[in-house]
A = this chain, B = another copy of it.
């Protein structure tokens, strides 16, 4: 049994709230640290347990993540909650293992073009960072899980179509490099459910029991359908963000991540218990609403409420 199995038990879907990372990636203003802590606490009270809370990047470049350590500390105090953060280079890794972070996320681009344009490094170097993460973690005796996510795995805004065989080879290399969790990301929302289903099933087979994460964007309205396909194909972890916050600099017009609230509804309806209370979750939207008034929030459940009998 690998170290990630207890974090993401097999046979159920774990939902990761990435709003505090991916949702803040591109915004011009962001919540105060207090507001972020309230966001975390509110979602925790609603039953959310998996939080991606930022990237280990220079504060000068990404000031929205300046309080990353405070958020990791806050999550570490919550029984059963888990924090994840991105580390995109050796310095980020070193910083990450100085915190109580539960999961370090490394990103490997599916295409050489995007890897060079976005990260200014080759895919091979990116895979080597996964290896460095696992090695450093072991040297330090740190508890963290290493998650390797393949960006642009279902289509690339620079290179266009992406060969699934290529993604599968990269996943294989990440597993060989020591990734505890592997993920595929439809970073620019190009996919439909057929592509998601086929790729997820291949990655699940390859991962051979290690948890598989699927990160989807709702750019073309396919987000929830793609999430349903990923669940059916055996994904263990699905990412979403409150109100569908977030986007990608390489996806003009993108409406952001899959809406977390709608993802909860989907999972419950499909028989994957989430343990999340919808009214409590919906109430947390008031935080980004007041802290980031320029960012539109999306969501079917927020708009229409849970299905029910009409009031008399």
Contact = CB atoms under 8 A, between A and B. Distances in A.
Interface of A: 155, 157-160, 188-195, 218-222, 224-225, 227-229, 250-255, 259, 262, 265-266, 268-271, 298-301, 303-305, 307-310
B228 A299 contact: no
Given A220-B265, A220-B307, A265-B222, A194 B271 contact: yes
- Most chain B CB atoms below 10 A, which of A195, A253, A271: A253
A162 to B, nearest CB: 10
Given A194-B271, A225-B266, A220 B309 contact: no
A221 B262 contact: yes
A271 B301 CA distance: 30
A306 B309 CA distance: 39
From DSSP, what is the main secondary structure of chain A's interface residues?
loop
Contact of A158 (B194, B298, B300, B309): B309
Nearest to A193: B228
Contacts of A191: 269
A266 B189 contact: no
Contact of A308 (B160, B262, B265, B301): B160
A298 B218 CA distance: 13
Which 5 A-B pairs have CB atoms at the shortest separation, nearest pair first?
A221-B300, A192-B269, A220-B300, A160-B309, A190-B307
Given A194-B269, A195-B269, A250-B310, A221 B301 contact: yes
Contact of A309 (B159, B225, B228, B253): B159
